[in-house]
Structure 1
């Protein structure tokens, strides 16, 4: 079957769905092609911290009702080291900006509901997805549904299909430059039926390794431990995980870690990755297809939203005015922010984690940096500005 649209979007994650939503508001047609089922993309548990700019955009574009009702707004975070906690006042240091805990799969549910209500075409469970002819004026997306071949012709393709997707590898050799860094540790994460032990996120530096206390709701806690990249979960029964979290998150006699039933457990790799440019001909890469950040700074979803905001504006200018200038500058505009976010995520990761090759000097330096960060308003403000989110462009 041969189909036609203005913008073909590969991937129904936050980048692809948000782009389709923004284009719809600008009167531009799009079709989203997704290899997974609707249930899979709507239930896969991923990151859950939204920057101020991401929250504002979701609300401004009419998909923020559940976010407003269910999201947990945070005005600060806590850094723990040396057995003591130190609060960073995000709102006070940034003129009132906040972050919001609202899971990525909930954002996806909201966007899918909005797109389908508007009559959008989202093709789920597409097999053998591939992209073609994006070096010319009529690029194509091919895929199979129940064994039948479909070809979607369009003006532009948005590759929003993640790090392991098909769009980036389709770009001819020599066009893209990859910048990659794999960290020598990972996160062992659990989701637990336990009331959060703190109203705000806790980032802990400990001699045994990093730990993070987060949450998904008033009754669900998300917790992480630094571990080896090849960690065997079989060596980590629930009680051992809770005991280790208790050690690393300890902060005086007045604080207690609330325990509960572990409902999910896994190991998350840590890497930094950027591709330049984020475009080739009429193919534009966005979100994880173009860049990966370690989860320490909670930036992955937020970077994806920033990318498609830039791309939607560029496409709107083209269709309204015939102007390709913003399309030509898409990579340049996005990468300026991407590299600043990479720097922040690398800095947070390097400051809070233990490295196998470090010595006593390195440990003392990390503690001194944390001491300076939590005792200097200027240093705290730098962290706060990056954490709540740099300007979208």
Structure 2
């Protein structure tokens, strides 16, 4: 590989190769540029970084540990599986990392309301938490299907004081929640800020969310070497929009001997229409203000997508992931709903760790891959969230 520095991405116009940018109306471009300018200003301020570092340590509970899943590794045979325990963060997932950054940015810019979408509810809970902390009103849009499926997170958001908007249009899932939230944002983009929940959308959000999430990989790289005296052979994470994956991958991208696998939802099968395997089966197009890989119908509309994990059922993906796919630096594979459920139960019963259904996709790939490798090889999984929100749903589905 060449010694290309991945930290140089995106360019000043927000492009990762041909992907990204600002595919938005001219009147919104000025607003997005103002957000970018404010972000670049605030990130240079030592007092901002000091406040964020303090919150990461004393509020979130960082650094999150790396855990050697010995019993699971022994049962599978082959490679040793390690877990980056983002599930132990305050609010139960990686989402709090960028939500704190976005809430502090909103406060710095004097915004009067923070608006967002959520799928599984983890972004919604994390943003409601961060907004409560800094004292800014918060409005979360969530598909009705996901509201019914992720009831524990819905309750938490209400307790935290956010306004929850039920979205019933279309498939009443994540893509429709994004559309609804964006429409609300457009009513007053000067005073509102749309806190995007992943590395998607128009520039500067893919860059900004990646930067806030990069703490995962920065910690993991140092921790893994301290624990094992070498770097992992494989680093893997689930991919919907792709924030937990890019956060984990970012610190290792210039390490030539590290292999990366992003795991998408194969849903009910790649040969069906009920999946969310955007990078596996999609094509370059535009969605939500960016160019990226998109799953589209024959008419060129975003395809109705499916995953057992509400946080992954999105027909697009982050532009940096799209670029890394075309570059060949990251391999994108998939895991089905059934593989996800199997991994959810296996990790719960072998290691006593209940993962989020989203994260269980990456665990499923690790379980599939480990037996094909030698015992001195390693797989580092970003366990991006915990499964409290999914426990009742899984128990009902499996008849437990």
TM over 0.5: no
Alignment TM-score, normalising by the size of structure 1: 0.29
Structure with the largest fraction of helix = 2
Q: Which structure's residues are more often strand, by fraction?
A: 1
Return the index of the structure with the highest Cα Rg.
1
Taking structure 2 as the reference length, the TM-score comes to: 0.28
